[in-house]
């Protein structure tokens, strides 16, 4: 990966979908992260050390989203089968908390997506079933065990080029 080192990233309009609700935020920012120059197996090629979510709501009710544990790990696995300029991967070690009036839940696990070397965007595409709700107290809108699907496209400040190991 070049360049390695510190980076930031920005996404407009990220969403988190669970079976009975959708959390929508105006934006999200990685305010502190590090990209590694190399990784023998693609695991931990980058870290998300701090991420923020701005003006989030579910059905017009305001919510906060916070990291519970850091860092979140960026991993790459293979060249995307549909576009050779993209590298598939995951963001793992996710631990986040959401809270709004009468509702709170934790989400842990990983999300899937790809990094686009041509646009310099990290795209989390809402696929997979490894981001799961726990500690939910949400009047049935979010329940323990609900699978969450996160969708966002983060423009990475340093515009790195990422290859598979």
Answer whether residue 100 is part of any domain.
yes
Q: Decide if pLDDT at 91 tops 80.
A: yes
Answer whether residue 162 is part of any domain.
no
What pLDDT, on a 0 to 100 scale, did the predictor assign at position 38?
Answer: 76
pTM listed for this prediction: 0.95
Answer whether residue 164 is part of any domain.
no
Q: How confident is the model over 12-33, as pLDDT tens digits?
A: 999 999 999 999 999 999 999 9
CATH code (residue 16): 2.40.160
What pLDDT, on a 0 to 100 scale, did the predictor assign at position 69?
Answer: 94
User: What percentage of the chain carries pLDDT values higher than 90?
Assistant: 90
What pLDDT, on a 0 to 100 scale, did the predictor assign at position 154?
Answer: 98
Answer whether residue 161 is part of any domain.
no
What residue numbers bound the domain in which 68 lies?
A: 5-156
SS3 string of the chain? CECCEEEEEEEECCEEEECCEEEEEEEEEEEEEEECCCCCCCCCCEEEEEEEEEEEEECCEEEEEEECCCCEEEEEEEECCCCCCEEEEEEEEEEEEEEECCEEEEEEEEEEEEEECCCCEEEEECCCCCEEEEEEECCCCCCCCCECEEEEEEEECCCCECCCC
Q: Decide if pLDDT at 37 tops 80.
A: no
Q: How far is CA 158 from the centre of its chain?
A: 18
Answer whether residue 163 is part of any domain.
no
Answer whether residue 62 is part of any domain.
yes
Q: What is the band of 41 on the pLDDT scale with cuts at 50, 70, 90?
A: confident
Answer whether residue 102 is part of any domain.
yes
Answer whether residue 165 is part of any domain.
no
Q: How confident is the model over 51-80, as pLDDT tens digits?
A: 999 999 999 999 999 999 999 999 999 999
The number of domains in the chain is: 1
What pLDDT, on a 0 to 100 scale, did the predictor assign at position 164?
Answer: 83
**Token reading at 157:** 């400040």
């Amino acid at each position: 990966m070049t360049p390695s080192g510190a980076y930031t990233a920005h996404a407009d309009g990220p969403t988190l979908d669970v079976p009975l609700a959708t959390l929508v935020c105006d934006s999200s920012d990685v305010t502190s992260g590090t990209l590694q120059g190399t990784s023998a197996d693609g695991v931990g090629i980058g870290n998300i050390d701090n991420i923020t979510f701005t003006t989030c709501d579910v059905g017009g009710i305001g919510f906060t989203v916070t990291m519970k544990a850091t860092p979140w790990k960026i991993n790459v696995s293979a060249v995307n089968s549909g576009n050779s300029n993209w590298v598939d991967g995951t963001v793992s070690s996710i631990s986040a908390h959401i809270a709004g009036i009468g509702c709170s839940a934790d989400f842990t696990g990983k999300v899937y997506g790809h990094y686009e070397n041509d646009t310099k965007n990290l795209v989390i595409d809402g696929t997979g079933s490894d981001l799961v709700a726990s500690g939910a107290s949400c009047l049935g809108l979010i329940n323990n065990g609900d699978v969450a699907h996160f969708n966002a496209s983060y423009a990475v400040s340093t515009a790195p080029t990422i290859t598979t190991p």
